[in-house]
Structure 1
Amino acid sequence: MSPFISVIITAYNRREFLKHAVRSVLNQTLDKGLYEIIVVKNFKDPEVDRLIEQSRGKVIELDAASIGLKLARGIEEAEGEVVAFLEDDDIYMPTKLVRIYDVFSNDEKLIYFHHNVAAIDKNGKPIFDKLIEHSNVNEFVRAESANEKKAIFAKYGWSLGLRNSSMAVRRDFIKRFVNVIRLFPDAVDVLLYLLALSSEGTILHSPERLTLFRLSSTSASSVRFVEDPETRFRRAVKNSIRHALARHALVVTAGLLDKWLAKYTNYDEASIIGGVFSDWGAWLVKPLTNYIIGNRPSARYLGTAIFGLTYLLNPTLAKRLIYYYYTKFSHISFSWS
């Protein structure tokens, strides 16, 4: 008998949390015969590999930092009617898969399910986080028609499209877009929501907190938890570059899917990247000073420092340079087959 749900867990160069993510899926209250686990990672982990083998799941080794590549590979291997996602540092609540099973088995038109999360720290302890609470939507939301989808988007924006670990989709719906998903290095969560908004089928959001979302210095989206200033700055810039490329791809995708979506994704991503630089105005002087007094390793950050200072002096010029650079080298060709 084929499983009803396929859970895709993704990891890249991070081992410390993966076993907890896997165990949270293995410890679900849903009948084990109703779901399978697929782990996509770029390293060996005897403990995790043994757990997956015992559960008759699948381990896929893929040396790719791109979130889109990993998820696309997992979707291709999925046998379940529904596909759920889990990042390696997050944790499912014990009843999550029962909830997914209930909502999808009772509504054949449902293609996209999203829910709230609760924040935890690096040790798994509950914490309060303003950003998480601000993005959680604390009411049930349902939309089926195009007009209903436009209405919920107008009211909630992208809040119903945040965090891969909060999402489950019907496989028949998402497999049509595998070749698009694999092109996105980041922002796949927003992409999945965009695809659901532009496709036939029902969208459902629940205020239930069915996933524990980990905030730590190793989380790709949690730069603010990195203590070392230079590391924090480098991570912020790296994330901004990756996010800019993904956002540019979103603009192209939205334009191909639906004109009403295109106008909401076609904003000035360069302003956001520029903001990252400007937030670090005081620190940007440090590499310049170190370089002048002979600290040559700081030369690695010299270009970024100069560019950051350019933004402080002439934001318009800096934004134009950013936009030109990232769009020039991120042309994307889409295949919908």
Structure 2
Amino acid sequence: MPSIFITVIIPSYRPNDFVYRAIKSALNQTLSAEFYEVIVVLNYTDEKISSMARENKIKVLYVDQISLSPKYIEAIKISMGNVICFLDYDDLFYPEKLEYIYNEFKNNKNLVYLHNRCTFIDDNDKPVNEGYNSPDFNLSSISIKKDIINIDYLSRVTALYDTFFYYISLDSAGEIKLTRKFLTYYRFHESTSNTLSEGIERWKNKMAIYMKYLNSLESMYSFLKSKKSRVLARDYIISLKIELNMLHDLLNSGKRYELNYDDILFWLAVPSYKANKLHYPFKFIKIIQYGMPVKYNKRIENYLLKI
């Protein structure tokens, strides 16, 4: 009898219609259901999901925390698959996603991390003209070998989970594959975009998000081992500190993160914390902006709201 090879983990923190569609997309796969399992992790009760679980042999796990780390940890602990596929509650899988993942990991014993491209969609499943891509963008595009996931390290992370899984894969001795195949739908919520808020509120929102990112990255940096993962993490940390210093200036908070010339030179020497060379020219633009008086930065940030 075939054994379960893939575990799909779908966390949800509040009742919503998107999660039902996400679950259905994980069930409506070309790969035989014998080869994978679906674990839905909730911090609330949902009779519709319970009904779907009874009909489709879905595992429903209740974790009474909104934070994602405990949800992932508990799901991984009970998972039976060798490979973990993540699916955010508002994203969708292409029907052939799991069959592709199954074949790639089955045929390559050294593969530990696979990242696929995604199609951006709106709340009505209509395509959106967005094309961002990076090796660690979007958890729903990430598949990872379970045995390289360190639960203790994961428990220390509170944001940037996609980046975390990419970095620990770099730390492993395994192979990483970045395929150009589109296998995931990424839902772009325009209604919750930070660019819709204005002025001070926009700056405050960005600051709160960046501070959360920074805390997680500094935790990661403390346990990362390989040169590449540490270079990328340090580069990302410096980038966030530059952004946060500008935001603190704009908000006149009086707080600043210490950065010396070595940090700046290191940052400029690395193509990008996202490992995307197309981002590199923006570093020089950002460093010019960083050196400008606050009044000019305010004009720049206000202008960015309009484009």
TM-score by length of 2: 0.76
Question: Per-residue CA shift, 1:90-133, capped at 9, x if unaligned?
Answer: 0001110110111011111111111111101122111112xxx2
Asked if 1:171 is matched to 2:146, the reply is yes
Once the two structures are superposed, the pairs formed by residues 93-242 of structure 1 within 5 Å of their partners are 93-129=94-130, 133=131, 135-136=132-133, 159-174=134-149, 177-217=150-190, 222-224=193-195, 226=196, 235-242=205-212
SS in 2 for 1:100: helix
Letter in 1 for 2:120: A
Once the two structures are superposed, the pairs formed by residues 254-333 of structure 1 within 5 Å of their partners are 254=224, 257-266=225-234, 267-268=237-238, 269-276=240-247, 281=250, 308-310=251-253, 318-320=256-258
Contact 1:65 1:185 in 2 (8 A): no
Give distance in 1, aligned partners of 2:101 and 2:206: 34
SS in 2 for 1:165: helix
Unaligned runs of 5+ in 2: 260-307
The sequence identity of aligned pairs, in percent, is: 27
Contact 2:128 2:188 in 1 (8 A): no
SS in 2 for 1:39: strand
Letter in 1 for 2:180: P
Contact 1:114 1:160 in 2 (8 A): yes
Letter in 2 for 1:309: N
Q: CA 1:9–1:252 in structure 2 vs 1: closer, same or farther (change >3 Å)?
A: same
Q: CA deviation at 1:170?
A: 1.5
Give distance in 2, aligned partners of 1:90 and 1:249: 27
Letter in 2 for 1:125: K
Give distance in 2, aligned partners of 1:231 and 1:4: 46
Report the equivalent of 2:221.
Answer: 251
Q: CA 1:30–1:245 in structure 2 vs 1: closer, same or farther (change >3 Å)?
A: same
Letter in 2 for 1:258: S
Q: CA 1:178–1:17 in structure 2 vs 1: closer, same or farther (change >3 Å)?
A: same
TM-score by length of 1: 0.69
SS in 1 for 2:217: helix
Give distance in 2, aligned partners of 1:218 and 1:34: 37
Q: CA deviation at 1:184?
A: 0.7
Report the equivalent of 1:149.
Answer: none
Q: CA 1:46–1:236 in structure 2 vs 1: closer, same or farther (change >3 Å)?
A: farther
Q: CA 1:30–1:218 in structure 2 vs 1: closer, same or farther (change >3 Å)?
A: farther
Contact 1:66 1:186 in 2 (8 A): no
Contact 1:72 1:179 in 2 (8 A): no
Give distance in 1, aligned partners of 2:98 and 2:78: 19
Q: CA 1:50–1:233 in structure 2 vs 1: closer, same or farther (change >3 Å)?
A: farther
Give distance in 2, aligned partners of 1:56 and 1:113: 26
Give distance in 1, aligned partners of 2:118 and 2:69: 22
Q: CA deviation at 1:218?
A: 6.8
Report the equivalent of 2:52.
Answer: 51
Contact 2:6 2:83 in 1 (8 A): yes
Contact 1:166 1:211 in 2 (8 A): yes
Q: CA-atom RMSD, angstroms? A: 2.4
Point out the more displaced range, 179-188 or 45-54. 45-54
Question: Per-residue CA shift, 1:156-197, capped at 9, x if unaligned?
Answer: xxx2122110011122222xx111112211111111111111
Letter in 2 for 1:264: L
How many residue pairs are counted as aligned between the two chains? 255
Q: CA deviation at 1:233?
A: 5.4
Q: CA deviation at 1:273?
A: 2.6
Give distance in 2, aligned partners of 1:275 and 1:25: 42
Give distance in 2, aligned partners of 1:231 and 1:124: 29
Letter in 2 for 1:165: S
Question: Per-residue CA shift, 1:26-49, capped at 9, x if unaligned?
Answer: 111111111110011211111122
Letter in 2 for 1:178: I
Contact 2:113 2:144 in 1 (8 A): yes
Letter in 2 for 1:319: Y
